[in-house]
């Protein structure tokens, strides 16, 4: 009976997890990409990747041959008609983000974690004919265009040209949104919207850091990035989450991230309606304003302390509450 139970347990082994299945498929593609029949097995590929476009189409006009399979291949990051051969691990992935998700984010062994540099990719595999070749826009075997947008510097392919991709020489990478809609700020070290060109607070290499909320590197992040009034940067989604939790100060420098004048007026009314006990009538404190950087000696109040220089309540107490007589005596 025990032998039968053991046999049954072997037959009904647990199913693979999603990450195990994706890793197996990716490794299978890596070891078999040189064979004529390449299995389209990457887990990030969409169902449309199974379209039968492998016919070389020798009789098709050049324009139709180039456009075969457009937007039918790719992954959750990009629609493209090729895959990359990672030079670091010699495995095949749909894009560098797919590689990083498997080899860095989801890698169980820390020593095996690594990321791929977009500029080091030298070989690609056509998704239609499975031919391995040097990085180029048109497949040398079947003549299909592997990406409507192609950058030979970044080794970047994308069929969704509505993103208005362009390569910035100063950034050294490709960006989206249209070249005419952005300018490169040399001090900030990144491309900003033209709306900020007339005047924005520059912070040295402000984009070459992690988001202060989610800690993802901002410079080449796929998420939308916003520039705060202080010049620091973070993801737009992270800024919205801060506002949802009533956090209106920059996590880096503590300056107000938006116009808070209406809030200051509300605090004025709150202070006017809140009477302090007589024992605190002569208490004074020194405060530092996070917005303008000024230090002031003001009357102590339990609600908040107003900066006398810029009328901001974004302040912090730097010295404890003192009686006015002792304060005058110590300052003289």
pLDDT per position as a tens digit, 108-154 = 777 778 888 899 999 999 999 999 999 999 999 999 999 999 999 99
pLDDT of res. 65 = 85
Computed over every residue of the chain, the mean pLDDT equals: 80
Q: Nearest to residue 179, comparing CAs of 196, 190, 191?
A: 191
248 Cβ contact partners less than 8 Å away, ≥ 6 residues apart: 242, 256, 257, 258, 260, 263
316 Cβ contact partners less than 8 Å away, ≥ 6 residues apart: 287, 288, 290
Rounded to whole angstroms, the Cα distance separating 157 from 146 reads 7
Burial class (CB in 10 A: 0-12, 13-18, 19+), 119: exposed
pLDDT of res. 178 = 93
> pTM score > 0.75 for this model?
no
Rounded to whole angstroms, the Cα distance separating 50 from 36 reads 16
What's the Cα-to-Cα distance from 114 to each of 24, 76, 101, 104, 109, rounded to whole Å? 18, 20, 10, 5, 11
pLDDT of res. 58 = 63
Rounded to whole angstroms, the Cα distance separating 237 from 233 reads 12
78 Cβ contact partners less than 8 Å away, ≥ 6 residues apart: 94, 95, 157, 158, 159, 160
CB-based contact 309:296 (threshold 8 Å): yes
What's the Cα-to-Cα distance from 313 to each of 94, 258, 290, 316, rounded to whole Å? 51, 13, 9, 9
Q: Nearest to residue 184, comparing CAs of 210, 164, 207, 160?
A: 207
Token pair 């901001």 in the structure block, residue: 312
pLDDT tens-digit series, residues 152-172: 999 999 999 999 999 999 999
Query: CB count, 10 Å around CB of 288?
Result: 17
Token pair 């220089």 in the structure block, residue: 309
pLDDT of res. 126 = 96
Rounded to whole angstroms, the Cα distance separating 172 from 180 reads 17
Q: Strands, E, within 200-269: which ranges?
A: 225-227, 233-235
CB-based contact 37:30 (threshold 8 Å): no
Q: Which residues of the chain have pLDDT under 50?
A: 1-51, 323-332
């Amino acid at each position: 009976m025990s032998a039968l139970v053991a046999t049954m347990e072997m037959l009904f082994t647990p199913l693979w997890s999603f990450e195990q299945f994706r890793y197996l498929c990716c490794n299978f593609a890596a070891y078999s990409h040189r064979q004529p029949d390449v299995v389209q097995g990457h887990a990030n590929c969409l169902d449309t990747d199974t379209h039968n476009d492998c016919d070389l189409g020798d009789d098709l006009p050049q324009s139709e041959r180039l456009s075969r399979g457009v937007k039918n291949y790719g992954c959750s990051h990009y629609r493209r008609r090729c895959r990359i051969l990672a030079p670091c691990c010699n495995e095949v992935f749909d894009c560098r983000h797919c590689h990083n998700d498997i080899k860095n984010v989801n890698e169980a062994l820390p020593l095996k974690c690594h990321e791929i540099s977009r500029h080091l990719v030298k070989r690609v595999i056509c998704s239609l004919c499975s031919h391995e070749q040097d990085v180029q826009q048109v497949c040398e075997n079947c003549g299909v265009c592997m990406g409507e947008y192609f950058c030979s510097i970044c080794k970047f392919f994308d069929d969704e040209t509505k993103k208005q991709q362009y390569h910035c020489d100063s950034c050294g990478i490709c960006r989206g949104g249209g070249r005419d809609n952005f300018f490169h700020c040399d001090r900030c070290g990144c491309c900003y919207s033209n709306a900020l060109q007339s005047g924005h607070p520059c912070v040295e290499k402000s984009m070459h850091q992690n988001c202060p909320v989610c800690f993802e590197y901002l410079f080449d992040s796929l998420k939308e990035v916003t520039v705060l009034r202080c010049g620091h940067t973070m993801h737009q989604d992270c800024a919205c989450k801060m506002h949802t939790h009533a956090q209106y100060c920059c996590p880096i420098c503590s300056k107000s991230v938006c116009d808070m004048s209406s809030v200051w007026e509300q605090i004025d009314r709150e202070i006017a309606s809140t009477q302090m006990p007589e024992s605190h009538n002569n208490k004074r404190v020194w405060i530092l304003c996070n917005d303008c950087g000024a230090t002031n000696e003001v009357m102590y109040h339990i609600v908040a302390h107003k900066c006398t220089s810029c009328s901001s309540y974004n302040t912090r107490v730097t010295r404890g509450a003192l009686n006015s007589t002792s304060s005058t005596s110590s300052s003289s």
